[in-house]
Chains A and B, each alone.
Chain A
Amino acid sequence: MARVAITELSKLYDGGGEPAVKDLSLTVGNGEFMVLLGPSGCGKSSVLRMIAGLEPITSGKIAIDGEIVNEIPAKDRDIAMVFQSYALYPHMDVFNNLAFGLRRRGIAKTEIERRVQGAASKLGLLPFLKRKPHALSGGQRQRVALGRAIVREPKVFLFDEPLSNLDAALRVSMRNELIRQQREMGITAIYVTHDQVEAMTMGHRICIMNKGEVIQIGKPLEVYRNPANTFVARFLGNPPMNLVPTSVEPDGGAYQLRVGGMSLPTDCWPAETLSRLGGKALLGIRPEDLYETAQRPDERRRIAIARAHVIAVEPLGAETLIILSLEGAAEEVTMRSGRETRLRPGDNATIELDLAAAHLFDPKTAQVIPPVHEEREARWAKAE
């Protein structure tokens, strides 16, 4: 178990250009499962490789349990990593793959035997100990890769998109396996992925990155519910959050939002902040916070009604996605509806927006406008 503290970490690769990682600071607590989430090329794997010691650090500090490891070679950091390609040694059988790291550390033969058997039985690998990697299925190889990390009992686990080579069904079961092992052993883990489902389900906390920078760090649902900017709002959630351009218009002493022909109250946001927006804002609302009339749960009170035209209906089995254009507005929005919907393409519909769950972003900075919190917090507390 260990605490990993990263301070103002930067990485510039040879050949110049933009830095792959820019002034990243992050602390991962003892036994915590931290997910680094971001699109391809956002620098998350570079961060992981610098923690592992596989990539030199351009500037900044990485400390494990208070000790700065910048100059400590990878082999002495006591870190185990699971690679996307599994990186199993093709010339060794499963037993030797698992034992390879232990032998180097001068651990007694009987102890190696015990640990390998233990990990193999935990992961269901006992029947395959004498097999070479090429004779294993993708899921079994993944288990061996995980086992190789487990037997080491390292200070920190690093995972570099370990599930992305597996098929969908296997991915779900391996995901649960991985969570179970990490929670059981209580070893600090840093997990890199671009898959938001993995991030939401596995991490104690998520660190969302873009273009080498940290955008937001928080618990999965916190980040989902309170995105710091439009990038997070669009990146988390499938389908992503609807972002509708609105105009902010004075209305007596207060303001109101106008979307097409519809006026929305703004009492969720402080008037003082709204006054600085210059008349424009982006209204963010998740597909699940739009309702067909009469389908909304009763406790949702802060409702706005909008008229819309149905463009497409996409039944997904458990739910239906409905693509709409709001009356008088150019943008399309997506609504998540139940399995049974009466709406058909071409229909005109009345839909309801849950304003308490809506977000407002400054279009110039893309940052969120902090809401007046009480009501929203109360509702989520109730939901949890």
Chain B
Amino acid sequence: MTQTSTTPKHPLAIRWFHWLNFPILSLMIWSGMIIYWANDAYFQFPEWFYEKAHLSFRLAEGMSYHFMLMWLFAVNGILYVSYTLISGEWRELIPGRDALSQAFQVVLHDLGIRKEPLPPAKFNAAQQIAYTGVVLMGLGSLLSGLAIYRPIQLSFLTALFGGYSNARFIHFLLTIGYVGFFGMHIVQVIRAGWANFQAMVTGHE
């Protein structure tokens, strides 16, 4: 930590969007779980889990939290995407034509099978796919969320997701997807080491 790190990596705006999204999305998942408890149609978490996590019998609260935080989640996401578009940061983030095969090389590398170093880039192909994918998931959550929030007045959206029940199921699946993303993200951040993590706080690596 004593070395002077001066290579700029993440702009201030990106760091704010990232770190705001973390508590907001966590609280969205938490309040979503409170809502899900009232009709746990797709997967039944064990009773002790609902109780230990204080998720039971709080539907009204859960809906209230969810319908408050949805604004922050949406606005933060829209600002993030707009920023990447305007700043040109999107060029680093959108997967290129060979992204899939390159991402496969990244997986081989991360598993220690491929020994040669990866080509230098701000984000490797696997990261590009993950970070672009999770933003598309966010869009999916926003739209499927609206589809179950106002299923009659926004019936075109509800129809797009295959009806009310399907839209609710997709909304749930996307949440499971975030949990998966989060798990992999933490593993990779630990593997990448301190300087990489520091860059998301200070902006410099």
Whether both chains belong to one complex is answered with: no
